[in-house]
Amino acid sequence: MKGEKQLAGMAEELKAKLTLCPASEKTLGGRSTTKSLVNGHAATAVYTILSRSDRRQHGIFFSGDEWAKKITQHIPTGNWQRYIDPSAGVGDLLLEICKTFPLGDSFSATQLAWSKLLSANDLRLSFIEIAWTRIQALAVSRHQLRGDDLNIDSLIEMPPSFQTGDTLSKRTSFLTGDCLVMNPPFQRIKTPPDSAIGTGLYSAAALHLERIIAQAEPGVGIVALVPDVLRSGSSYKKFRALLNSKLDIREFIPLGRFGASADVDVSLISGITSKARTVTSSRGTESFKSTHNIGENFKVRVGSVVPHRTSSAKSKLGYINVKNTPAWAELERIETKASYLATAEQGPFVVIRRTSSPSDKERARATVINTKEMVLVENHFIICKPLSGLISDCRKLVANLKDKRTNQWLNQRIRCRHLTVSAVSELPWWED
């Protein structure tokens, strides 16, 4: 990876600064150096070395102080003997946990005690070296050491429980009493042949959790920050079924947008591994079912035309796309024509724009298509065709989508910035 030599040099420099600070500084072994190590400036320095594109490619987006506090606050209750971060980065999560650990009788005793309580893994040696140095800096700060109290012999070596390796291929045993704290990579990667999640490209976060749960004994605590699509996306149903079969889920909740560095909505999973079991209900991760919902009275599917990829046909038909379909209108004629070899639809039906963000004022912007002619529909729409064939049911659906409760429900159900067929199908039919 680009910048690896610079990162290695940075790790050595931080360690040297921690021990070579001037004795004249009042406390903390060099207040500015120690404070910078603890409060996240190390992560900022890494970001200046690695380009945004490189970080996105490798899924390098650190938790930071605020997210570390949020994540660790949701650690499931348990008598945890060891805290493990299998994708540690520069140690934000473990550092936050160390803030709750008791101090030893001396700085050396504290380092030794903490090293036995912690385990870290990352692909990059430089990252875990920085993580360990930051943990030592926290111990320096909490012991209130002065510059002349600290030298290179005061620091113990990075413990053997801090290792490098790929979590997706590394064989590791997670034992009863272990607690895993995770902000795994988010980038999409190809699933291995033995994955139970599916085939193709999936979030690396899902694959990390799948791998870890497979290697964990019952009684292992897990708290993880993941893309919200794992909680709500239809393509991750198998992943959620896997979680429910092997994890006693305490929380699976949306937490909003991660931040500017990774523009994605996230959720938090918290639970304790259990013996594998067959699950007939979704134990909370699919808790949005309703006795009366849209899927009961409408056939819901995605438009069949993918522009620039769908083959051409000889005849032209009316073509519904984002440009010619205003929200909340009722269209009786489709002026735009196109020739695509795709499934055509006959009205009446409703189309809902798939692009939909939790920040939008209206999440389910819809249009009634009231025409008997056969029309093509772009895949940027979800089609809701009434089983009754009645235009009146289409109008009732639009009124349901305009209801303020729809926004509230969707913002709980799906935080990613597009609607899914399953989310629309499960949307309740509001009855006063």
Q: Tens digits of per-residue pLDDT, 108-158?
A: 999 999 999 999 999 888 889 888 988 988 888 888 876 566 655 678 899
pLDDT at res. 15: 62
pLDDT at res. 150: 66
Q: What is the dihedral of CA 323, 328, 334, 339, to 10 degrees?
A: 50
Closest CA to 347 of 303, 379, 391: 391
Place of tokens 């976060």: 205
- Paired strand residues for 252: 269
* pLDDT tens track for 311-365: 888 889 999 999 999 999 999 999 999 999 999 999 999 999 998 887 788 999 9
Indicate the residue type of 172: T
In terms of pLDDT, which residue wins out, 184 or 29?
184
Under a CB-based contact definition with an 8 Å cutoff, are residues 135 and 95 in contact?
Answer: yes
Q: In which region does residue 226 sit, left (phi positive, over 0), alpha (psi from -120 to 50) or beta (all else)?
A: beta
Closest CA to 415 of 307, 305, 258: 258
Cα–Cα distance for residue pair 155/107, rounded to 1 Å: 9
* pLDDT tens track for 271-316: 999 876 554 444 333 433 344 889 989 999 999 999 888 888 888 9
Half-sphere exposure of 214 (CA within 13 A, CB side): 17
DSSP string for 112-167? HHHHHHEEEEES-HHHHHHHHHHHHHHHHHHHT--GGG--GGGSPPPPTTEEE--T
Closest CA to 246 of 207, 266, 220: 220
Closest CA to 395 of 426, 362, 366: 366
* CA pseudo-torsion sign 426, 266, 234, 169: negative
Secondary structure class of 271 (helix, strand, coil): strand
Question: In sequence order, which residues have a C-beta less than 8 Å from that of residue 201 and are 6 or more positions away?
Answer: 188, 189, 190, 191
Indicate the residue type of 139: A
Q: Where are the alpha helices (DSSP H) in 204-251?
A: 204-214, 229-232, 237-246
Please compute the mean of the pLDDT values over residues 76-86 and round it to a whole number.
95
Indicate the residue type of 75: I
* CA pseudo-torsion sign 228, 231, 235, 238: positive
Please compute the mean of the pLDDT values over residues 233-253 and round it to a whole number.
89
Residue 337 CA: distances (Å) to CA of 307, 343, 347, 385: 13, 15, 16, 21
Cα–Cα distance for residue pair 259/422, rounded to 1 Å: 27
What average pLDDT does the structure give for the chain? 83
pLDDT at res. 260: 57
In terms of pLDDT, which residue wins out, 28 or 252?
252
Please compute the mean of the pLDDT values over residues 362-389 and round it to a whole number.
95
Tokens describing residue 74: 């949701």
Tokens describing residue 184: 């795994």
In terms of pLDDT, which residue wins out, 428 or 414?
428
User: What is this structure's pTM?
Assistant: 0.64
Q: Would you give the end-to-end CA distance of the chain in angstroms? A: 58
* pLDDT tens track for 384-406: 999 999 999 999 999 999 999 99
